[in-house]
């Protein structure tokens, strides 16, 4: 199911498919490692795998030539665009993962304060699966596939989202390792 959705929306763009799949596999593997190391969290490992593999599907509609995306939307919208795609496929829990993984999640206040082209609503990870995938995603970039960031590098990449996100990430580091 995951592979079919990726193929369907990449529409023959092999370079994008490669970037998206490599990044998503890296995120999925790290997220699954967290789930396995913390059975007390009772995370749904199937949802983690599928959600991590599909969390960035919205990039197929954004304008980001450096990662072979030739759509028309701003990159910041890839989460909500991915959620639209996944809801159209009947994958509602996966859609929540997609729309809630930017930074450490975005609040309506942050969206309004930064004048982001997003609906003015909260997009913060709520379920344990959403949180684990969002956390794992911070260690990988689509522009440097296969290279895992250090915690310090991940924190630096969050600075553009403000101090609250850094504190959320640090709390996840303490909880997830």
Assess if residue 107 is contained within a domain. no
Please tell me the predicted confidence (pLDDT) of residue 159: 86
- Nearest Cα to Cα of residue 69 among 4, 131, 13: 13
Q: Structure pTM?
A: 0.96
CATH code of the domain containing 137 = 1.10.3210
* Buried b or exposed e, range 1-17, using 16+ CB within 10 angstroms: ebeebbeebbeeeeebb
Q: How many domains does the chain have?
A: 1
Domain limits at 47? 2-102+112-176
Q: How confident is the model at residue 164 (pLDDT cuts 50, 70, 90)?
A: confident
Judged by phi (left if over 0) then psi (alpha if -120 to 50, else beta), residue 102 lies in beta
pLDDT reading at 163 higher than 80: no
pLDDT reading at 160 higher than 90: no
Q: Is the separation of the CB atoms in 145 and 68 below 8 Å?
A: no
For 4-62, what is each residue's pLDDT tens digit? 999 999 999 999 999 999 999 999 999 999 999 999 999 999 999 999 999 999 999 99
Assess if residue 71 is contained within a domain. yes
Cross-strand partners of 39: none
């Amino acid at each position: 199911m995951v592979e079919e959705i990726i193929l369907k929306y990449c529409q023959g763009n092999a370079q994008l498919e490669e970037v998206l799949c490599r990044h998503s596999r890296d995120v999925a593997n790290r997220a699954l490692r967290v789930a396995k190391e913390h059975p007390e969290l009772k995370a749904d490992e199937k949802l983690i795998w599928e959600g991590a593999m599909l969390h960035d599907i919205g990039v197929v509609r954004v304008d980001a030539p450096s990662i072979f995306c030739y759509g028309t939307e701003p990159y910041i919208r890839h989460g909500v665009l991915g959620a639209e795609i996944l809801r159209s496929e009947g994958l509602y829990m996966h859609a929540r993962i997609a729309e809630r993984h930017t930074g450490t999640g975005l609040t309506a206040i942050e969206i309004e304060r930064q004048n982001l082209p997003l609906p003015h609503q909260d997009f913060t990870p709520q379920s344990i699966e959403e949180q684990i995938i969002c956390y794992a995603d911070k260690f990988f970039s689509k522009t440097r596939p296969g290279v895992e960031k250090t915690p310090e590098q991940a924190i630096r990449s969050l600075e553009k989202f403000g101090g609250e996100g850094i504190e959320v990430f640090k709390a996840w580091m303490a909880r997830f390792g």
